[in-house]
Structure 1
Amino acid sequence: MRMPPAPLPRRVAAEFTGTAALVAVIVGSGIRADLLSGDLGVRLLGNAAASAIGLGLLIALLGPVSGAHLNPVVTLSAWWDRRREPGGDGGREVLAYLAAQLAGAVGGALLAEAMFGRAPGGSWPAGPAASPHLLLGEAVATAGLVLVVRGPARVGRPGLAPVAVAGYVGAAIWFTSSGAFANPAATVGRSLTDSFTGIAPASVPAYAAAQFLGLLLGTGLAGVLYGTVRAGAEPEPAPARRTG
């Protein structure tokens, strides 16, 4: 039997807290990696491991409360699947989730900077630039994330979601050219840190556009592979990703 959904304010609080924690893990592990090693591969390995483990834990803890979206891409993907269901919060819930995720991402980045004694806004990150091959990497990473988020519930194994999503994110950090931000809110947060995980503020719009393109591609491919969700069908839990 499914538990009744938590009240919207509690779900929004979970999205804010979870997104803040996720971005704090991503940015904080990047700052720590900068401090401990000058080897790019070692820094990437440490950041990928911390990000994947942190994301998996957050999905497991917050999934029963809000779905643990932690990512506008996941929220919009879930809304698209459930848009015809009666009795939902609809646009009100989507807007509340998106606002909480964006605020949480900014707060998480500033928290990570403060934990390491770095003044917020002391210097702006210089890269990466919005090069075409990096934007292609972002679109691929985001499309894959949508598939992995939807997959466990669609094949009848929703309990695998924390491991599946965390494992995919850890892998995508390595196999995509962009490092798999795959999260518009986290991308905004990462524009506030001049560290290993930072992104130039001027690159944020292009990265976000690539991520939303990935959302469309992933949604279409999920429909081909898994079929569409019928109105009134049991809704899927929809956890989400880093990244960024």
Structure 2
Amino acid sequence: MDPVALPRRLLAEFLGTALLVTAVVGSGIMASRLSPDDVGLQLLENSIATAFALGALILTFGPISGAHFNPVVSAADWFLGRRTRTGLTATDLAGYTVAQIAGAIGGSILANLMFGLDAVSISRNQRAAGHLWLGEVVATTGLLLLIVALARSGRASAAPAAVGAYIGAAYWFTSSTSFANPAVTIGRAFTDTFAGIAPSSVPAYIAAQLAGLLAATGLLLVLYPHAGAASGDVVVHHPAPRSEETR
């Protein structure tokens, strides 16, 4: 059977990333309104909502596109699956990346509008410091190790709970609050709210996330030498549709 058609997968990646960023930004706005004088409580509310939403979105879109919602996840999938031809193709990777970035920007706009703000409000929240960049390297490396380990060990079905739990925890144990996603980072520049990041801070965050990608890829090649054989299951196995669905 043919795999899920690329346009359907790109739509799933666009919608999934958009709704993920909507959850991140929207819960951040709600938290700042409900708990205006307690930043710690705001972060708790934001992290819980994000973790639960991410798990639900992986369940929703995983069977279609794999529920990457993240260019570094897609890049790792492409790189590790090149030899075995089990992961994304270069064309897929380019399409996924564009869909994810567009979705992330759309998600910020949607969240802004839902809370009565201007559709686009460029963030002024500066996040520029070495310890924050280190936090992004750690967050991204850990995320990729988890995802590929789940796929390689045949536990991709645990990804909704495991990935959601990791991101929820990484909000707290990393200095950067774990963006770990270039598309989400770009999208969050379009909201001047609790979850925003100033455009001038975006390039360094993305560079740190790419460093995390390189670190994770190197570690995976050592820890899981045959990880590429499971690239088709990153993040979630997306099986071929039934024949009648492709007609």
Fold in common (TM above 0.5): yes
Shift of 1:152: 1.2
Q: Specify the code of the residue in structure 2 equivalent to 1:95.
A: A
- Match in the other structure for 2:106: 107
Residue 8 of structure 1: aligned partner: 6
Specify the code of the residue in structure 2 equivalent to 1:114: L
1:165-180 equivalences in 2 (<5 Å): 165-180=163-178
Distance 1:234 1:220, change over 3 A: closer
Q: Flag the 1:87–1:189 CA change in 2: closer, same or farther, 3 A.
A: closer
Could you tell which deviates more after superposition, 84-93 or 58-67? 84-93
Of residues 194, 212, 215 in structure 1, which corresponds to 2:213? 215
Structure 2: how far apart are the matches of 1:89 and 1:221?
Answer: 20
Query: In structure 1, how many angstroms separate the alpha carbons of the residues matched to 2:88 and 2:71?
Result: 16
| Cα RMSD (Å) | 1.7
Task: Give the Cα separation in 1 of the matches to 2:230 and 2:136.
Answer: 31
- Measure, in 1, the Cα distance between the counterparts of 2:125 and 2:231: 39
Other-structure match for 2:240: none
Cα distance between partner residues in 2 of 1:18 and 1:165? 14
1:88 shift after superposition? 7.1
Larger displacement relative to structure 2 (46-55 or 151-160): 151-160
- Using the alignment, how far apart are the partners of 1:162 and 1:88 within structure 2? 20
Q: Residue 118 of structure 1 corresponds to which residue in structure 2?
A: 117
Question: Counterpart of 1:95?
Answer: 94
- The alpha-carbon distance between structure 1 residues 8 and 217, as it changes in their structure 2 partners (threshold 3 A), is same
Query: Secondary structure of 1:156's partner?
Result: coil
Distance 1:236 1:120 in 2: 37
1:24 is the counterpart of 2:18: no
The aligned length equals 235
**1:237 CA displacement:** 1.7
How much identity, in percent, do the aligned residues show?
52
In the TM superposition, residue 225 of structure 1 has moved relative to its aligned partner by 1.9
Aligned partner of 1:141: which letter?
A: A
For 1:141, the equivalent position in structure 2 comes to 139
Query: Does structure 1 conserve the Cα–Cα contact (< 8 Å) formed by 2:78 and 2:88?
Result: no
Distance 1:223 1:86, change over 3 A: closer
**How far off its partner does 1:178 sit?**
0.3
Q: Which runs of 5+ in 1 are unaligned?
A: none
- For the residues of structure 1 that align with 2:127 and 2:19, how far apart are their CA atoms? 26
Distance 2:160 2:88 in 1: 25
Structure 1 moving runs of 4+ over 4 Å: 86-89
Task: Determine whether 1:60 maps to 2:56.
Answer: no
CA contact (8 A) 1:150 1:236 kept: no
After superposition, residues 167-206 of structure 1 pair within 5 angstroms as 167-206=165-204
Q: TM-score, normalised by structure 2?
A: 0.90
Task: Report the AA paired with residue 36 of structure 1.
Answer: L
Inter-partner Cα distance in structure 2 for 1:116 and 1:172: 26
- The aligned residue for residue 40 of structure 1 is 39
Whether the 8 Å contact between 1:30 and 1:43 is mirrored in structure 2 is yes
Contact 1:154-1:236 within 8 A present in 2 as well: no
2:168 counterpart of 1:152: no
Give the conservation status (yes or no) of the 8 Å contact 2:66–2:235.
Answer: yes
2:125 touches 2:196 (CA, 8 Å); kept in 1?
A: yes
Distance, in Å, in 2 between the alignment partners of 1:181 and 1:146 is 13
Q: Structure 2 stretches of 5 or more lacking a match?
A: 237-247
